[in-house]
Amino acid sequence: MPRKLTDRSTAPAASNAGTAGVPRATEKRAGRGSEVPGSAAPGSYATDDARWEAVTGRDARADGRFVYSVSSTGVYCRPSCASRQPRRENVRFHENCAAAEAAGFRACKRCQPNGVSPADLDAARMAEACRRIEAAETPPNPVELARAAGLSRFHFHRLFKRVVGVTPGQFFARTRAERMKEELRRSSTVTQAIYDAGFQSSSRFYDASDKALGMTPTQFRDGGAGLAVRYATAPCSLGYVLVAATERGICAVFLGDTPHSLEAQLREEFPRALLQAGAAGLSDWLRAVVKEVERPGGKFQLPLDVRGTVFQQRVWEALRRIPAGETATYSEIAAAIGAPSAVRAVASACASNRLAVLVPCHRAVRIGGALSGYRWGVERKKTLLQRERTDGSAG
């Protein structure tokens, strides 16, 4: 089981402008397996050793992935069961409750593995909280949100951050940014978009748009026209790397065979931006990115200007929590962000990633570990993973 994953970047993602057509951040929970918010790190419990580690650690993230039975008691439990830890030689692992019952074991009355798990209940409550936040015109009162969930304010805030991956205030800011972008695309004027998006004054709208869009509302409506993007290229062992940045931070890292092909990619991604070639002011960042290409998995401290929808950003955050040298399937990533049925959308978000290596979409694989779907080539993906594993085993 992978160790607890943390975000290696010290700079927050800046803007949130991206494409539509992906699932919303939350969907109504119709039953087990439906989409809810989440932020648990992707993990694998394919081996008995990994499963035993989950049992000894009472890892709630493993609930629903398998159950274990105890021969001395005749019962089977969730991995997170709080009952006394059994002896390893008395433990067997089963894929699900039906398999355990077919083997002659009965459900534990304490953890009730054949019922709704505490994690599912928490996720359902947080999904409802997300719906309340999405429907709000102004930042919801945290006390009222906690009361609606039946929790104290402290417990609610901690649980929301753990399940959703961001604070209630951050979630509101992101959903309002989505609303802002939608209205800017739909409304005939910026002034109309201000009020349709629920803002009471233009000053608040422009303050929020600067943080959410990384550009002025007019620039956003014009497809990023006038946005200044500096870029530079450098050779590396995988061919060439291009690093592009706005005033907020690095907005693109591309890998390719020639500088010309990389510049063409950049023009395609930012068709109406003011592109400025040259390494002036980018040399340190360019060297840091090349170093990350040559020895991926290191700790970097680079400001990032991440542009995407709420859903895409949740996927990219999950990718950054996968430790170097390890991989996660698209299904595991979907489950980790609380959207287990959105596997295709997760794969699409990985393919839309503009920050090669820094947002390590090369660590996303198919079930069984098959390598495919890397926008900069499967061979580069294979090389990056081999380097991470080699460095990890050497260290």
C-alpha to C-alpha distances, 175 to 219, 305, 315, nearest whole angstrom: 20, 18, 16
Instruction: Give yes or no for a contact between 190 and 221, defined as CB atoms under 8 angstroms apart.
Output: yes
Residue where the block lists tokens 């798990």 = 117
For residues 131 and 139, what is the distance between their CA atoms, to the nearest angstrom?
13
Per annotation, catalytic residue among 97, 108, 350, 361: 361
Per annotation, catalytic residue among 77, 81, 97, 251: 77
Neighbouring C-alpha atoms within 13 Å toward the C-beta of 250: 28
Contacts of 262 (CB under 8 A, 6+ apart): 233, 240, 241, 242, 254, 255, 256
68 beta partners = 77, 93
Q: Determine how many CB atoms are found less than 10 A away from the CB of residue 330.
A: 23
Burial class of 244 by CB neighbour count within 10 A (0 to 12, 13 to 18, 19+): buried
361 noted as active-site residue: yes
For residues 271 and 267, what is the distance between their CA atoms, to the nearest angstrom?
5
Q: What is the DSSP letter of 3?
A: P
What's the full length of the chain, in residues? 395
Strand order in the sheet with 274-277: 249-256, 239-246, 228-236, 274-277
Report the catalytic residues: 77, 361
